[in-house]
Amino acid sequence: MNLTEIVINNLFGQYDHRVQLFSEEGITIIYGLNGVGKTTLLRLTKEALGSEVTELNKTTFDRLELGFDNGSILEITKHPKIFEGSIMDSREKEINNEGLQDNNKELKVKDENEESKIFYYLKNSKGEILEYYSRTLKPSRRIRALDIDDKLHF
């Protein structure tokens, strides 16, 4: 299974990008002005396909979609989807009971000490969601040198 397309919406709150990856030619060139998110798009793609999610967590974007040659699409977002009578009913209740907001409501800005979530949706070529999961990201626990001195008794 090969990656064929990368789509990101509202990167940095202002850019939408669609990158077609052409395997027949063997190379795809991504070009654009400085600061429009070329490198960030590649970092987010790498993290979406791996286990690290640092960039996914700290980068502002609405939706990242990775298309594959078998027609499947992996969608990554920071906002849960609301399902209507789909096969995801049990998971839907779990998401709604956690008090997460739907996309039509104003989203509050998260404090850096709050937990956050990233949602992954695997869709078929028709856009139907086949399965999904979420990851809860714990806030980083940085300790200043002065705090360490206070905690140590020697």
Question: Tokens 């795809």, residue?
Answer: 28
Residue 62 banded pLDDT, cuts 50, 70, 90: very high
* pLDDT on residue 88: 45
| pTM attached to this predicted model | 0.67
Select from 72, 59, 57 the least CA-distant residue to 17.
59
Yes or no: say if 119 and 81 are a contact pair by the CB < 8 Å rule.
Answer: yes
Q: How many CB atoms lie within 10 A of CB 137?
A: 17
CA angle, 101 then 79 then 112, to 5°: 85
Higher confidence at residue 110 or residue 134? 134
Look up residue 50 and give its two tokens. 């791996």
